[in-house]
Structure 1
Amino acid sequence: MDGIKYAVFTDKSIQLLGKKQYTSNVESRSTRTEIKHWVELWNSYEMNSHRLPGKGRRMGPIMGHTMHYRRMIITLQSSYSIPPLRKKRT
């Protein structure tokens, strides 16, 4: 599960927690099948992933952008739960 970067806590994702749907960002190069292999630890789940565009950033006359990233939403059955994700300490 090294490809999972961090959990996302927005207004929408907090509302989804009540429905047993967990949201997190993963590496942008990851494919849906790789993400499914990471999540195979939980027996009963349904997964949705989508790629979000980077935001435009201007530095003087030059227009740049931030990195693209991929977000996954995992829906679990009512009898299962996921422990909170923790950051690695260095």
Structure 2
Amino acid sequence: MEKLKNQLITEKSIRLLQQNQYTFHVDSKLTKTEMKSWIEGFFAVKAGGINSSRVASRGKKRSKLSLNSTSKKKMIARLRANYSIPLFIN
């Protein structure tokens, strides 16, 4: 899927793995519904919920309008009990 860019590995995302939550950088136009259906189909798991947030790009100050178009989007997928994604270490 070209809309899923990569998994996000930070201290917080590693802590979230213990709670069965997985963090991804995604395309800024991707919706929660699309993300949930893709994760359930590709990894054969059941998602309990999806949280999303926009991450501002670093660098020069930008106007509010251009900040929204150049920002990245991060999604945290919470899986139901007894499911896990094998690419990540729990």
Tell me if both proteins adopt one fold, taking TM over 0.5 as the criterion: yes
Give the gaps of 5 or more residues in structure 1: 58-62, 86-90
Provide TM-score, normalisation by structure 2: 0.72
* CA–CA distance in structure 1, aligned partners of residues 9 and 49 of structure 2: 20
Aligned residues: 80
Match of 2:82 among 56, 79, 82: 79
Which structure's CA Rg is the greater one? 1
* CA–CA distance in structure 2, aligned partners of residues 44 and 35 of structure 1: 10
Shift in Å at residue 32 of structure 1?
2.3
Give runs of aligned pairs for residues 52-71 of structure 1, distance below 5 A. 52-57=55-60, 67-71=70-74
Per-residue CA deviations over 1:24-43 (Å, capped at 9, x if unaligned) read 10011212232223123222
Shift in Å at residue 44 of structure 1?
4.1
Shift in Å at residue 75 of structure 1?
0.9
Q: Structure 1 or 2: larger strand share? A: 1
Further displaced range: 24-33 or 13-22: 24-33
* CA–CA distance in structure 1, aligned partners of residues 33 and 46 of structure 2: 16
Q: Structure 1 or 2: larger helix share? A: 2
Q: Using the aligned pairs only, state the percent identity.
A: 38
Misfit runs of 4+, over 6 Å:
none
* CA–CA distance in structure 2, aligned partners of residues 8 and 26 of structure 1: 10
Relative to structure 1, the CA distance from residue 44 to residue 52 in structure 2 (aligned partners, 3 Å threshold; closer, same or farther) is closer
Provide TM-score, normalisation by structure 1: 0.72
Shift in Å at residue 83 of structure 1?
2.4
Relative to structure 1, the CA distance from residue 10 to residue 55 in structure 2 (aligned partners, 3 Å threshold; closer, same or farther) is same
* CA–CA distance in structure 1, aligned partners of residues 86 and 2 of structure 2: 16
